[in-house]
Amino acid sequence: MTLQQYQVDAFASRVFEGNPAAVCPLEAWLDDTLLQAIAMENNLSETAYFVPVDNGFELRWFTPAAEVDLCGHATLAAAHVLYAELGYSADSISFATRSGELSVSRDGDWYVLDFPAIVPRPCAAPAGLVEALGRQPMEVLAADDLLAVFACEAEVRALEPEQALLARLDCRGVIATAPGEQHDFVSRFFAPRVGVPEDPVTGSAHCKLVPYWAQRLGNNRMNARQISRRGGELRVALRGDRVQMAGRAVLFMVAEIRGL
């Protein structure tokens, strides 16, 4: 069996920026063990698989260590493959996922993702968080991720977290965020517990970031940047109980998976 695989830099306007994701179109679902093994072999933060169904596509995402419930950049990458490489031409794409129905549409050379808003709730900093981050955040909130809020962009840039300590926390990952110098807000995302020490650009983290910053800034439309080493730009908006995230994508590589 041979599979076609695409590697796409998502939330990027040129290669070597944004967040790389592998995308494997399938005709039918393969065994989960094989899907996980391919993701482990790719060793990217996410490998996305999609299968056509009557009203769109079923979509799943795997880190090198586990399947996840929600992923933004690999959804954007899958949409880019469909539109730019596989001839998809409808106004929008509907993806059936573990987080419900997600849609992606185009606005010029930007892709607009429609995702659920996840409102994080204030909480006390759990034991080990400050030690793991090496700095005391101003505020901590919780959803499936922890949200650590700092006073300024420089503090977020300076973080050098202890990955082993982060992996012990009872959450998917830790989002560090602050007001931006040239953007409404900036962030970084660390998820060693699911095999991703630092994710370059994280769409699912913005499902929590956008409601938080919309309320704090009193603005439902914002520009954001994830300030990882690769970095990535997002245009974001809060629409009721939905978050819209717009980003661009660039194809880096087309490959074949053989020997399966």
Strand, coil or helix: 159: coil
Q: Of 165, 160, 129, give the one whose Cα is nearest residue 147.
A: 129
Residue 211: CB atoms within 10 A of its CB come to: 20
Active-site choice (46, 155, 198, 233): 46
CA distances from 221 to 116, 183, 211 (A): 16, 12, 11
Strand, coil or helix: 233: strand
In a domain, 223, yes or no: yes
95 neighbors 72 (Cβ within 8 angstroms): no
Active-site residue 46, yes or no? yes
The boundaries of the domain holding residue 215 are 121-245
Q: Round to the nearest angstrom and report the end-to-end CA distance of the chain.
A: 6
9 neighbors 80 (Cβ within 8 angstroms): no
Q: Are residues 163 and 206 in the same domain?
A: yes
Is 32 or 1 the better-scoring residue by pLDDT?
32
The crossing angle, in degrees rounded to 10, of helices 203-217 and 73-80 is 120
Q: Are residues 104 and 125 in the same domain?
A: no
Q: Are residues 126 and 77 in the same domain?
A: no
Mean pLDDT for the chain overall: 95
The model's pLDDT over 102-137, given as tens digits with 9 standing for 90+, comes to 999 999 999 999 999 999 999 999 999 999 999 999
In a domain, 130, yes or no: yes
In a domain, 181, yes or no: yes
Q: Are residues 15 and 100 in the same domain?
A: yes
Mean pLDDT of 210-239: 96
Q: Are residues 129 and 105 in the same domain?
A: no
Q: pLDDT-based confidence at 194, cuts 50/70/90? A: confident
Residue 191: CB atoms within 10 A of its CB come to: 26
Domain count within the chain: 2
In a domain, 37, yes or no: yes
Strand, coil or helix: 127: coil
CATH of the domain at 168: 3.10.310.10
